[in-house]
């Protein structure tokens, strides 16, 4: 195995800007169901906690949809990446279990077929790709990554360890080890994807100019709206305590929604620019009920925030019930999570070893 399919679904186009990424992403979407064999997906999450409804509507549902089109789907649980902004990884194994249960409940199927879930700590050859890749990027490139800067700011770090600056290169290894060509991500991950594209191009130019070894992957952006936290002002996030977890009970869900921030205008209208908190509740109600947000707003009208929250609680709990009951079933079986990961780890190791061997050969590092 020396060469890989570097067919680019939409040609070799730099996607330096958000608009450009969005344009290419919008070209790829309709082709996926027509030509699933042309694509290989990799995406992933940091195991810092259980997943919430923002993850479900923003990314999990898309992964499941693409999986069901028949695309080979790799999901990395980026456990080493947990160490970028904290000293201990103590909670990691519990978080990995919770995340895998969330994946299964949402409909990813790692037990059969083409879906592979693995923590990158268990795939040594993937991690080894980091070493040649580090030689393909410059310090200023690492230093000016806007997402890294924002994470340092948000975590309030006084000293920053080197993995905070190098994890985007590790992420290139996560993506390129299996030669994925589509990477569903949120907007904040686009700088990392841009770096991955540079690593792929530079490796190909420097070490395998005749037959490019790596595909240059494309980001796949979701069309679902960003869900804000229940405090209204910022993204939903477990660490900000403003999230509805997938595994929450109906009662916990009701309580969280009851405490959600609204505004002083009693009449409910859908106005995302001027009334972000109310609009956010309406958006979630729309996603859960399948009805337009404006229609729900008009129906509630003078009923006010209380009525809106009652309606949201009802439709969201009803929508999540099948997922939650599946999750409870999976959680009862202690073998479930290890079995799901075992198959993913085995396949990821196979892919990574093949790729590492091809990389060593391309670099002229074969001596036996």
Q: Rounded distance, CA 342 to CA 350, Å?
A: 12
**3-state DSSP assignment of residue 145:** coil
Residue 102 found at the interface with ligand TRP (CB under 6 A) = no
Question: Binding string, 236-265, against ligand TRP, x = CB under 6 A?
Answer: ------------------------------
Range in contact with ligand TRP (rule: CB under 6 A) among 111-119, 168-176, 208-216, 355-363: 168-176
Q: Contacting ligand TRP (CB under 6 A), which of 15, 21, 25, 43?
A: 43
Return the H-helix or E-strand segment holding 184: strand 182-184
Smallest gap from residue 77 Cβ to ligand TRP (A):
8
Range in contact with ligand TRP (rule: CB under 6 A) among 40-48, 132-140, 225-233, 275-283: 40-48
Q: Contacting ligand TRP (CB under 6 A), which of 50, 84, 95, 171?
A: 171
Closest CA to 178 of 255, 71, 73: 73
User: Please, which residue, 43 or 289, has the CB nearer to ligand TRP?
Assistant: 43
Q: Rounded distance, CA 283 to CA 54, Å?
A: 11
Q: Which residue is nearest to ligand TRP (CB)?
A: 78
Closest CA to 97 of 348, 347, 340, 362: 340
Q: How many residues bind ligand TRP (CB under 6 A)?
A: 14
Under a CB-based contact definition with an 8 Å cutoff, are residues 6 and 215 in contact?
Answer: yes
User: Please, which residue, 78 or 106, has the CB nearer to ligand TRP?
Assistant: 78
Q: Contacting ligand TRP (CB under 6 A), which of 78, 108, 345, 358?
A: 78
Number of H helices, E strands in the chain: 15, 5
User: Please, which residue, 83 or 331, has the CB nearer to ligand TRP?
Assistant: 83
Q: Rounded distance, CA 288 to CA 312, Å?
A: 8
Backbone angles phi, psi at 271, to 5 degrees: -145, 75
Residue 54 found at the interface with ligand TRP (CB under 6 A) = no
Question: Binding string, 183-212, against ligand TRP, x = CB under 6 A?
Answer: x-x---x-----------------------
Residue 41 found at the interface with ligand TRP (CB under 6 A) = no
Per-position b or e across 78-96, b if 16+ CB within 10 A of its CB = bbbbbebbeeeeeebeebb
Half-sphere exposure of 124 toward its Cβ, with a 13 Å CA cutoff? Answer: 1
Smallest gap from residue 303 Cβ to ligand TRP (A):
38
Q: List, in sequence order, every residue forming a beta bridge with 218; answer none if it has no partner.
A: 182
User: Please, which residue, 78 or 337, has the CB nearer to ligand TRP?
Assistant: 78
């Amino acid at each position: 195995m020396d060469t890989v399919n570097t067919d680019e679904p939409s040609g070799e186009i730099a996607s330096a800007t958000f608009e450009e990424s969005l344009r290419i992403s919008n070209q790829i979407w309709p082709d996926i169901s027509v030509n699933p064999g042309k694509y290989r997906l990799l995406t992933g999450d940091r195991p810092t906690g259980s997943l919430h409804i923002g993850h479900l509507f923003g990314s999990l549902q898309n992964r499941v949809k693409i999986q069901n089109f028949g695309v080979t789907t790799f999901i990395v649980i980026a456990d080493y990446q947990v160490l970028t902004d904290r000293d201990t990884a103590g909670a990691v194994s519990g978080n990995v279990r919770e995340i895998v249960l969330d994946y299964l409940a949402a409909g990813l199927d790692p037990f059969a077929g083409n879906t592979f879930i693995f923590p990158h700590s268990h795939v040594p050859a993937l991690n080894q790709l980091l070493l040649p890749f580090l030689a393909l990027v410059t310090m200023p490139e690492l230093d000016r990554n806007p997402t890294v800067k924002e994470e340092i700011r948000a975590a309030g770090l006084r000293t920053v360890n080197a993995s905070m600056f190098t994890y985007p290169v590790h992420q290139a290894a996560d993506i390129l080890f299996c030669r994925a060509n589509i990477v569903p991500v949120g907007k904040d991950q686009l700088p990392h994807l841009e770096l991955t594209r540079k690593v792929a191009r530079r490796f190909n130019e420097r070490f395998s100019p005749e037959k490019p070894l790596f595909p240059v992957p494309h980001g796949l952006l979701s069309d679902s709206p960003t869900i804000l936290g229940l405090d209204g002002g910022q993204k939903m996030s477990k660490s900000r305590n403003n999230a509805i977890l997938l595994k929450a009970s109906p009662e916990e869900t009701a309580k969280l929604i009851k405490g959600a921030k609204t505004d002083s205008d009693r009449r409910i209208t859908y106005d995302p620019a001027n009334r972000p908190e109310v609009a956010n509740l309406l958006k979630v109600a729309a996603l859960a009920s399948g009805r337009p947000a404006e229609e729900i707003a008009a129906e509630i009208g003078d009923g006010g925030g209380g009525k809106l929250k009652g309606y949201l609680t009802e439709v969201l709990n009803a929508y999540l019930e099948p997922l939650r009951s599946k999750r409870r079933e999976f959680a009862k079986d202690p073998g479930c999570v290890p079995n799901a990961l075992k198959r993913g780890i085995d396949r990821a190791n196979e892919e990574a070893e093949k790729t590492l061997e091809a990389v060593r050969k391309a670099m002229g590092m074969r001596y036996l």
